[in-house]
Structure 1
Amino acid sequence: MSGFPDDIPFFDEKRAPQQRPSGIAARAMAARQGSTAPRYLEGLNPEQRLAVETTEGPVLVLAGAGTGKTRVLTTRIAHILSLGRAFPSQILAVTFTNKAAREMKERVGVLVGEAVEGMPWLGTFHSIGVKLLRRHAELAGLKSDFTILDTDDQVRLIKQLIQAEGLDDKRWPARQFAQMIDGWKNKGLGPTEIPEGDARSFGNGKGRKLYSVYQERLKTLNACDFGDLLCHPIRIFRAHPDVLAEYHRKFRYILVDEYQDTNTAQYMWLRLLAQRPKAQPGGITPSTQRSTRDPSTGVVSHSPAEGRARDRAPSDVSPASAERSRASGDSVSEKNRPTQQINICCVGDDDQSIYGWRGAEVDNILRFEKDFPGATVIRLERNYRSTAHILATASHLIAHNESRLGKTLFTDAANPEDAKVKVHAAWDSEEEARAVGEEIEQAQRPDKNGNRHRLNDMAILVRAS
């Protein structure tokens, strides 16, 4: 398989002798007995391995740039599956881009083989949101075959609504209002929830009405926009605790990549799925107990469990045991069912939060330990990408940032002869361009050993295009 770094291990253990057990169960047993570690753990540094093997409870992995966070995420999934802690369909793995989701699925496939095809809940926030919404579309006033408007369709619809209100669509551009709606939905705000100042800032004070009419028109068209793919499930989870409880039982493990880039709506969505009902002593959560609502997410703290008992397995029973119980007709009494543990692992870097312009909230990662008391925090600080001089310069600069959890990147491949970081102060953009050009020409000239750099080996980073 092309496109993978050389350090990605392959899941190709030699076949065990005939008289010994083999397969996932045998590897899990070997791990418990402290024998040779599985091949997929080879090559991990101590911090990476700790992040992979700490499977239970809330875990925050602070992964600096170039520290192997993608490998940790994929190996962690392989480890959970190899130990039999969950079926592939019981793992929710969320990424930000389709490219990252494809890469993660391919890497997991390298480690565990065809089992990755049984992971329907590995994808982006929006792709998983689509799947959730199609399952429960009627609860959002839609049909399961709803369409998703792209930006151009959204702008055309808004322009029609602006004109219908008797407003000048040149003075009040539809694209501008589409951006305002996107910003509100990134915060999880519906028409009745947006601040009064925002509502009055567009269309001669008709912002709230236009937003409301826009949402109603979407329902009439059996359509939604990208923001609805998260906002609709959030409202469904809030209004229907039985639906939320279904996914609490389904997802035994939740993994999130680039947690520092989550916006408010994504944060609320994750908190709802990760939160578990609080049980009274003895593990009982009675349906008659009064429910309370979390002000940050709107979720009811506990609710009656719906569905047949035989369709629910306690969190401390292995998937294989649960399957045997279902096959034999046995069921676990809800009375004896303990509160399910929160097994959520978020990977991110508070020093790389650069998407505030599109609604990202770095506070989401900074308050992880408050959101999930008793969380384990693991720092990946061993860098495999940059030289010691670059890491030292970056660490010195970012240390001035007050809103950070703190970590110091280092490399085991430190070489005093590596080039140091140089700072060039230019009077204007022309002098800056001239200095960059001269640096490129110098790099193309052969050095004392006859080596020269090609243009393809160089990159120029600018603040804005």
Structure 2
Amino acid sequence: MTDQPGLLEGLDPQQRAAVTAPRGPVCVLAGAGTGKTRTITHRIAWLVQRGLVVPQQVLAVTFTARAAGEMRTRLRGLGAHGVQAQTFHAAAFRQLRYFWPRVIGDELWPLTEQKFRLVTQAAGRLRLATDQDSVRDLATEIEWAKATLLTPEHYPASAAERGRECPVPPEHFTKVFEGYEKLKNSAKVLDFDDLLLHIAAILEENTEVAEQFRAQYRSFVVDEYQDVTPLQQRVLDAWLGQRDDLTVVGDANQTIYSFAGASPRWLVDFPLRYPNAEVVKLERDYRSTPQVVTLANRVIGAASPDRGAEGENTGSSGTELTLVGQLPDGPEPEFAAHDDEAEEARAVSRRIARLAGNGVPFSEMVVLYRVNAQSELYEQTLSEAGIPYQVRGGERFFARTEVRQAIAALRGAANRGNTGPGELPKVVREVLSEVGLTERAPSGGAALERWQSLNALAELADELAGQVEQADLTHYVAELDTRASAQHPPTVEGVTLASLHAAKGLEWDTVFLVGLVEKTLPIQYADGDEDAVEEERRLFYVGVTRARQRVRLSWSTYRGQGGGRKRRRSRFLRELDPAENSAPAPKSKRREKSAGSRRVREVHCRICSTPLTATADVKLGRCSGCPSDADEELLTKLRGWRTERAQQLRVPAYVVFSDATLLAIAEQRPDDSEALSRISGVGATKLERFGSDVLGLVNGSDHSGG
């Protein structure tokens, strides 16, 4: 590969130690925001550059197609072409396609698309419930059993030993499990867990195949190692054989999939399993402000001492991590109590609108909740406020009609002829304009959602052109195909709504953690189970550590409007919030307290001196009935400037400044930063971002007509 002299530039001492560690067992304990992906991709590129490994002999595995796609993109940018970066299941599927015909003597059985139907048949034969929820519970339990290497006959005893709640009596589940496997084998199909079971068995039982595989792959990297299941660990052991050229990366504080069979014990015990292992801790947090980091440390620091997933002791092996913030100070975390859920959602919506008005992109804000059912209220509230959003885990980006149409058009253009050097972004935008991409974003609704999808494709062309020299339309379409298969979409402008589990591995400037009440976080079924409660705490920790700048934690006293059963805020908040009261005061009292606890500055009309009460009047600094004294020439220039800046930033115009704020500027004509900052709608962020431009227009205007 091309020499990359900058591979170690910009790395802190711990990251550098991880990157340059010799081949052999290496354990990187990487806290949230500590540059984990950067570190492991630079390590792979370093080993390749130094000639210590051949790219085609490296297999890096992680847990989501998106993470694997991100890893491939970064490795490509570092010049480490040829490294395999895949999920466990994708890697096993690829290997089975190659070895199955040779070992089994037949074509690889296809993956079943009828798993629920097979489980339904197996349950129906036993006269068990076959409604959608019951079948889903049975399918989930079968997945857990296979992930933890349990056969049907061993399930009852093991489930009882682990205190596992079975959706049906264990002896009935055993028969459903057996029936499902028989139906699946008769149909000659596989499920996802079979991919791992079969590749492990082939490598364990066929020496010749194992030797051939291990000659091909000599170095392994496992990301998110705290989330491996017993089945995935069995596959990894089969890949390795007796070798130890293995780098693992993980954080026991982020183990949130124990319910699916994941366990951090292999990460925690790695130094015991490999006594000569190099262990490196990454604790410098480059993602979040010190305020967010402090909150995160307090969340995880309140956990039961030395207690990890499944009750394992995580303190004795030196795997505990304490984050150290590296960024400048930011705002303190916000704690907000509300009377009911609807009020909570409206408050979040208003806060989002204010932040957007101060220049924070919608795509840099997320609303996180514990269960998916909580999203509906926020979808409705944001829609009513005209705020664009996307539900993570909803309709997949590449399945959208406009995206499929766009890719078809791009593929046709690529087949007709390639682009020249440096032309990719221009040509992609020309093709996308034929299917609906315009220079300016529509004002809202479905049209805006379609525009955002197409614009995300255009921005991806900019990104690819900056990463790959000589990138043309053929390269671009191939990148889209790769991302589609990996479900690795480009960024779409809009507030994200996501469950805490779905947020793992992602980050935003601003995080709203909502619905933080008992029986939701921790979830109701965790109550009374200390291990389950600690997993809920780690889930909360994951949510907090998604924030770069701001985190707002909120809860409501009642579920619906008008009262009902009173709810208590989460026990996790009671350990964090300095406020003593756990519920909002009645509205009338809050108004009294507000009026009595701070002096409210009365604003008067600058023309007739009448006290102003309406928000729009306060923003303009005059009564609505008083005549406007706006400099019309300046107002026209401000509107033109706003349009240009909005197009450059690819945001709606009101995100730069609202019409009311522009009118206030044109009327009051501030001549310095202090005067400009006093205008409602010009916060500190906007003053820093747009202040010089606005003041240049104001000071350069002819005021004689004012």
Smaller-chain TM-score bracket: 0.5 to 0.7
Match of 2:517 in 1: none
Cα separation, 2, equivalents of 1:457 and 1:232: 42
Match of 1:398 in 2: 300
Cα separation, 1, equivalents of 2:175 and 2:206: 27
Q: Secondary structure of the equivalent of 2:78?
A: helix
User: Is 1:39 the equivalent of 2:2?
Assistant: no
Runs of 4+ in 1 over 6 A off after TM superposition: none
Amino acid at match of 1:218: K
Of 380, 386, 391 in structure 1, the residue corresponding to residue 288 of structure 2 is 386
Q: Secondary structure of the equivalent of 2:249?
A: strand
Cα separation, 2, equivalents of 1:86 and 1:155: 43
Does the aligned pair in 2 maintain the 1:188–1:265 contact within 8 Å? yes
Match of 2:152 in 1: 191
Higher helix share: 2
How far 1:125 sits from its partner (Å)? 0.4
Does the aligned pair in 1 maintain the 2:137–2:167 contact within 8 Å? no
Match of 2:100 in 1: 137
Q: Percent identity?
A: 33
Q: Secondary structure of the equivalent of 1:122?
A: strand
How far 1:77 sits from its partner (Å)? 1.5
Q: Is there any run of 5+ residues in structure 2 with no aligned partner, and where?
A: 161-165, 309-313, 373-706
Match of 2:370 in 1: 463
Amino acid at match of 2:30: A
Of 264, 276, 287 in structure 1, the residue corresponding to residue 230 of structure 2 is 264
Of 187, 196, 209 in structure 2, the residue corresponding to residue 221 of structure 1 is 187
Mark the CA change 1:230 to 1:355 in structure 2 (over 3 Å): closer, same or farther.
same
User: Is 1:49 the equivalent of 2:16?
Assistant: yes
Match of 1:252 in 2: 218
How far 1:256 sits from its partner (Å)? 0.7
Cα separation, 2, equivalents of 1:194 and 1:68: 40
Mark the CA change 1:99 to 1:174 in structure 2 (over 3 Å): closer, same or farther.
same
Q: Secondary structure of the equivalent of 1:66?
A: coil
Tell me the alpha carbon deviations over residues 26-60 of structure 1, each in whole angstroms, 9 at most, x when there is no partner. Answer: x6xxxxxxxxx822222222211111111322111
Amino acid at match of 2:54: F
Cα separation, 2, equivalents of 1:133 and 1:211: 24
Q: Secondary structure of the equivalent of 1:194?
A: helix
Greater Rg over alpha carbons, structure: 2
Match of 1:205 in 2: 171
Mark the CA change 1:464 to 1:173 in structure 2 (over 3 Å): closer, same or farther.
closer
After superposition, residues 55-454 of structure 1 pair within 5 angstroms as: 55-112=22-79, 116=81, 118-119=82-83, 121-137=84-100, 143-150=106-113, 153-164=114-125, 169=130, 173-196=134-157, 202=168, 205-276=171-242, 340=243, 342-401=244-303, 402=306, 403=308, 404=314, 405-415=319-329, 418-426=330-338, 428-430=340-342, 432-433=344-345, 435-437=347-349, 439-440=351-352, 443=355, 451=358, 453=360
| TM-score (norm: length of structure 2) | 0.46
Mark the CA change 1:396 to 1:85 in structure 2 (over 3 Å): closer, same or farther.
same
Tell me which moved more, 197-206 or 41-50.
197-206
Q: Secondary structure of the equivalent of 2:322?
A: coil
Does the aligned pair in 2 maintain the 1:182–1:227 contact within 8 Å? yes
Amino acid at match of 2:271: E
How far 1:157 sits from its partner (Å)? 2.1
Ranked by relative contact order (alpha carbons within 8 Å, sequence separation 6 or more), the top structure is 1
Tell me the alpha carbon deviations over residues 69-88 of structure 1, each in whole angstroms, 9 at most, x when there is no partner. Answer: 11112111111111112222
Does the aligned pair in 1 maintain the 2:118–2:184 contact within 8 Å? no
Does the aligned pair in 2 maintain the 1:95–1:124 contact within 8 Å? yes
Cα separation, 1, equivalents of 2:91 and 2:48: 21
Mark the CA change 1:221 to 1:433 in structure 2 (over 3 Å): closer, same or farther.
closer
Mark the CA change 1:68 to 1:172 in structure 2 (over 3 Å): closer, same or farther.
closer
| TM-score (norm: length of structure 1) | 0.68
Tell me the alpha carbon deviations over residues 136-160 of structure 1, each in whole angstroms, 9 at most, x when there is no partner. Answer: 326885733310013xx01112333
Q: Secondary structure of the equivalent of 1:413?
A: coil
Match of 1:280 in 2: none
Q: Secondary structure of the equivalent of 2:276?
A: coil
Q: Is there any run of 5+ residues in structure 1 with no aligned partner, and where?
A: 1-22, 28-36, 277-339, 446-450
Query: What's the C-alpha RMSD, in Å, of the aligned pairs?
Result: 3.1
How far 1:426 sits from its partner (Å)? 4.4
Does the aligned pair in 1 maintain the 2:26–2:246 contact within 8 Å? yes
Match of 2:462 in 1: none
Does the aligned pair in 2 maintain the 1:198–1:207 contact within 8 Å? no
Q: Secondary structure of the equivalent of 2:279?
A: strand
Amino acid at match of 1:354: I
Does the aligned pair in 2 maintain the 1:258–1:347 contact within 8 Å? yes
Q: Secondary structure of the equivalent of 2:151?
A: coil
Pairs aligned (count): 355
